[in-house]
Amino acid sequence: MLSRRNFIKLAGSSAGLLIASCEIKQLKTSASAHVVIIGGGFGGATVAKYIRKLDKTIQVTLIEPNTHYTSCPGSNWVLGGLKKVTSLNFNYKSLSSHYDVNLIYNKVTSINTNKRIVTLLDRQKIRYDKLIVSPGIDFRWDTIEGHNESTTNIIPHAWKAGVQTTLLANQLKAMDDGGTVVICTPPNPYKCPPGPYERASMIAHYLKNHKPKSKILILDPKSHFSKQNLFIEGWKKHYGFGDNNSMIEWLSIPDNPVIKIDVKNKIVETDFGDKYKADVLNYIPAQKAAHIAEESGLCDQSGWCPVTHNSSESTLHSDIHIIGDASKYSPLPKSAFAANSEAKVCAFAIVNILNEQEIISPTWINTCYSLITKSHGISVAMVYKLNKNGKLNKVEGAGGVTQNTDDKSLSLEANYSRQWFKNITKDSFS
């Protein structure tokens, strides 16, 4: 007999169907609904757990290609020498053993929205009553000349954590003192708005301790960035910014973005032909919803997936709910905190829909912490609600950025940041 804990080839639905190798087989009969989730990141893992917590009669199957997840939050700290890359890894065992979530380690290659079937890489087919899509982002390689996925082993983006994080960390270690690190940040929208600036801070932290004559140049296609004043204040205090001895320089080039890379020589070229030579080049590409969302017709022209916010249901296909980075949840940022919050709202909505109950009017929360040094943290927080017209809005008077900038308060923020990492990964993966 197949155990739900074992990796299945199992998938129940209200019709109780397992479809394998293009063949539809009856596995078990169940009156319960079958929710299938694509992607075991912060969004997918959280929604799997919370649906099972809310209603144990609903069968939940999580499909994810990797047996462990490597967290992007915390990955900049690895570059600063504050964390080991292995400490970013989380597995799905607890979702299976504590919450009886069916796990399938595989990749979804297509979604048949009419028949409500997903197909996996091995051609296995799984039927769903409700599908939740949380596959994260992919990169827009069409906005850059000379560089693509195949050259990321030379010019790492490190915007998906793991091998790429280690590669960038090793390049920094191999760089001579006095070298230049160029960070090319992406245009909006992208995952983790403060991420590139925390990265600059963490690289500066490493360089200050090991290669103090080195420089960091941030080439930015934006005129403003998240927590800008707090970052700049921190950079001035710890690394030098805005004078001749600065370790960090920020160059805003909205009208003259980077369009070309000479990978071999690590030279970036802008639209006006300006060239910048790097010793270590960290190019973070422009982004869009992950391939599976795009291929399945879940994205609009923006490259992201439009949803009705109170249920996260796709506005383009019924019975498909999209959460996390791939979805359009603005003004919520694309963050792990937001993905976790969207996942909980989505779990409540799906349980209510399946139980023929009204969907509640939800509230979403986000906080983004960043470290400037080990003991200098900053944050931005916000609460979001739907207004009378069903539009997602910031709640007036809620949230804000770090107010107290004395050393004790900033050190507390750094501790909150580390504590937040422990809490969110526990909430999502165990």
Q: Which residues bind ligand FAD (CB under 6 A)?
A: 38-44, 63-66, 69, 72-73, 75-76, 107-108, 134-136, 159, 191-192, 195, 290, 292, 324-325, 334-337, 339, 368-369
Tracing tokens 């939050």 back to the chain, one arrives at 73
Structure tokens given for 101: 């979530």
CB of 357 to ligand FAD, least distance (A): 26
Helix (H) or strand (E) holding 261: strand 258-262
Residue (135 or 234) nearer to ligand FAD, CB: 135
Tracing tokens 């409540």 back to the chain, one arrives at 348
In sign, the C-alpha dihedral spanning 94, 96, 98, 101 is positive
Residue (197 or 250) nearer to ligand FAD, CB: 197
CB of 184 to ligand FAD, least distance (A): 14
| Spatial CA neighbour of 328 closest among 317, 342, 340 | 342
CB of 80 to ligand FAD, least distance (A): 12
Residue (61 or 335) nearer to ligand FAD, CB: 335
Residue (203 or 339) nearer to ligand FAD, CB: 339
Residue (107 or 385) nearer to ligand FAD, CB: 107
DSSP-derived secondary structure for 173-203: HHSPTT-EEEEEPPPSS-B-TTHHHHHHHHH
Beta strands 23-26 and 17-20: pairing type?
antiparallel
Helices and strands, counts by H and E, the chain: 9, 27
Q: Is residue 16 a contact partner of residue 129, using CB atoms and an 8 Å limit?
A: no
CB of 335 to ligand FAD, least distance (A): 3
Q: Is residue 187 a contact partner of residue 257, using CB atoms and an 8 Å limit?
A: yes
CB of 182 to ligand FAD, least distance (A): 17
Residue (134 or 270) nearer to ligand FAD, CB: 134
Separation CA 78–CA 87 (nearest Å): 9
Beta strands 215-220 and 180-184: pairing type?
parallel
CB of 187 to ligand FAD, least distance (A): 15
Residue (43 or 270) nearer to ligand FAD, CB: 43
Residue (303 or 324) nearer to ligand FAD, CB: 324
CB of 371 to ligand FAD, least distance (A): 9
Separation CA 36–CA 44 (nearest Å): 10
CB of 358 to ligand FAD, least distance (A): 27
Helix (H) or strand (E) holding 282: strand 280-283
| Spatial CA neighbour of 376 closest among 336, 405, 337 | 405
